[in-house]
């Protein structure tokens, strides 16, 4: 009975040059975002009444409990079930790309977006008024900016990182399209 060779020579040369897969990084970042999002929402819902405002830094920063049926900035408030399906499509897309992921930057960015999307999906599925139509709990208010939550912040930061990675020519596999070097 023979066993699979473990010598480095048995690994194809092209595979030896690739950075390691970053699936664990993506999963850990997503898990941290989901956990922080869930914990903060549970605390805020138990602490504040709907619409209640608690100033933190004068009128600039406060906690304000809002249940948002729409997307960011309360856009598409009558389309909650569509937003749920879009978020599910984003999650499925990220999971499909995850196998090719070898870039730390892409793993971090996609982990933030995945964690944020899943954090808000938990609300869409498990909060009132019902499955696929649940309202997302938002609670951070900064100046004139619409009220948001940890998941929203993660999606925004992840999205900005994705744009920066694309603009700098970094690929999912860790390579750079600008100079041919690996990240």
In the residue annotation, 152 being an active-site residue is answered as: yes
d(Cα 123, Cα 135) in Å, to the nearest integer? 6
d(Cα 27, Cα 118) in Å, to the nearest integer? 12
| Active-site residue (options: 138, 171, 173, 179) | 138
d(Cα 108, Cα 111) in Å, to the nearest integer? 5
CA distances from 15 to 11, 21, 32, 101 (A): 7, 11, 30, 14
Query: 148 and 73 in contact (C-beta within 8 Å)?
Result: no
| Residue of 18, 30, 40 whose CA lies nearest to 94 | 30
In the residue annotation, 179 being an active-site residue is answered as: no
Strands 136-142 and 53-57: unpaired
Query: 132 and 81 in contact (C-beta within 8 Å)?
Result: yes
| Active-site residue (options: 152, 171, 173, 179) | 152
Residues acting as catalytic residues: 138, 152
């Amino acid at each position: 009975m023979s066993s699979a060779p473990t010598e480095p020579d048995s690994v194809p040369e092209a595979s030896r040059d690739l950075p390691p897969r970053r699936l664990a990084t993506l999963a850990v970042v997503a898990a941290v975002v989901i956990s922080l999002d869930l914990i903060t929402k549970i605390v805020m819902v138990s602490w504040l009444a709907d619409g209640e405002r608690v100033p933190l830094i004068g009128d600039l920063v406060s906690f304000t409990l809002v249940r948002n049926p729409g997307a960011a900035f309360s856009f598409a408030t009558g389309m909650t079930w569509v937003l749920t399906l879009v978020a599910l499509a984003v999650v499925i897309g990220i999971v499909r790309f995850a196998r090719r992921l070898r870039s730390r930057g892409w793993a971090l960015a996609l982990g933030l977006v995945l964690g944020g999307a899943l954090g808000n999906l938990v609300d869409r599925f498990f909060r009132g008024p019902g499955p696929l139509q649940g309202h997302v709990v938002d609670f951070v208010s900064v100046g004139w900016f619409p009220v948001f939550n940890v998941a929203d912040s993660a999606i925004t930061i992840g999205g900005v990182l994705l744009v920066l990675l694309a603009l700098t020519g970094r690929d999912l596999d860790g390579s750079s399209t600008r100079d041919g070097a690996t990240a």
